[in-house]
Structure 1
Amino acid sequence: MQNPKFQVFKSSANSEYYYRLRAKNGEIILNGEGYKTKQGCLNGIASVKSNAPYDSRYDRRQSVNGQYYFNLKAINGEIIGRSEMYVTRSGMENGISAVKRDAPTAPIEDLTLAGAY
């Protein structure tokens, strides 16, 4: 994969729509919640794109097992994206930097056109 992108897919387990943001290296750096409609999922991506540049929207966390992760929140405080788990704090910060850099201009790949994920 050469360019970062959002991927929209429909879960075969619950028929909800989800998005994930992949970095240039293909790693998933942000996941969205389940949405009942594809339009809801696309609205979630639009919210990520508009909120991603602002550092204050990132809620940095450490899990009980010592790993690090972050949530991206909208201006109203609602979580709109969750990161993967990172072993180090610096890894988490690198993930945040990648979302800030990539999300605002990342294209959307619609995987629902090929069927359920």
Structure 2
Amino acid sequence: MAGWYEMKKNDKGQYSFVLKAANGEVVLRSELYESRAAADNGIASVQKNSPVDSAYTHSDASDGRFYFNLKAANHQIIGTSQMYKTAAARRAGMESVRTNGPTTAVKNEA
């Protein structure tokens, strides 16, 4: 089973999405978008950029945990990972986004 995107709309009418791995774990969270069309474009950007190694930036939080961002060709952040306890776990999260990001499956909660 492949991963999928889940689209949500908050009480202010803003949209966001998460990318879930096949096991249902969230591996990437988007920013907030003002329209559904903009959020759909965000998903398209993840689909396009997730296989590209140079689209990932590695970061360390001030508390010693690890995370990554996925960036578009224009260097804007498309999505951010969860916080990981180890750099190895962060690498595994990045690999999950590379694997699941190209999926076209979208579940709409919006």
Which residue type is aligned with residue 51 of structure 1? N
**Taking structure 1 as the reference length, what is the TM-score of the superposition?**
0.90
Q: How many corresponding residue pairs? A: 110
Which one of 100, 103, 109 corresponds to residue 102 of structure 1? 100
**Taking structure 2 as the reference length, what is the TM-score of the superposition?**
0.96
Q: For residues 38-57 of structure 1, what are the structure 2 equivalents within 5 Å? A: 38-57=36-55
Tell me how far apart the structure 2 counterparts of residues 15 and 38 of structure 1 sit (CA, whole Å).
9
Q: Check conservation: 2:2, 2:103, Cα contact below 8 A.
A: no
Q: Is there any run of 5+ residues in structure 2 with no aligned partner, and where? A: none
Q: For residues 8-47 of structure 1, what are the structure 2 equivalents within 5 Å? A: 8-12=7-11, 14-47=12-45
RMSD: 0.9
Tell me how far apart the structure 1 counterparts of residues 103 and 22 of structure 2 sit (CA, whole Å).
13
More helix by share: 1
Q: Percent identity?
A: 36
Q: Is there any run of 5+ residues in structure 1 with no aligned partner, and where? A: 113-117
Query: Which runs of structure 1 show a deviation greater than 6 angstroms over 4 or more consecutive aligned residues?
Result: none
